[in-house]
Structure 1
Amino acid sequence: MGEAKRRKETLGEKYGQQERIMPWIPITKNQAELFVAWTTRGAWVGIGGMVVAWVTIRFIGPAFGWWHVVD
């Protein structure tokens, strides 16, 4: 008997289903990995946006004479 058949007999109904992080949490490991990937990407986008805003406020604004608004 092959390993796949043994595994199928052992797991029964759960054979072929994705494994959950914890039995009581309905989130699979793949969903958790996707969540981490998306939030990491979102954090980098936020950091980039903050840098652009800082450069705009710090350098571009005063160059156009908006320095009195910041003071």
Structure 2
Amino acid sequence: MGFKRAAEEVLREVGRPLHYTDITELALESGYLTTRGKTPHNTMRARLSVDVRDNPESPFVQTAPGVYGLRKMPKRR
């Protein structure tokens, strides 16, 4: 699974925006993301920030510096 898809899964599960370092850690811990790179946090930050900046259809929104959420958060029961 790629960085953006892993971020979507984590954010859906958590149900609130998170800092990109927390998204990365949870994605790695849950097995959604595997990488051989030395700086997965930086890669996650880059993927999310570029997607928000360049893709008007992005599922992500930036809510604060380094903090990302889903445009459409799942409804809690």
TM bracket (short chain)? under 0.3
Larger radius of gyration: 1
Structure with the greater relative contact order (CA < 8 A, sep ≥ 6): 1 or 2? Answer: 2
TM-score of the two chains, using structure 2 as the length reference: 0.25
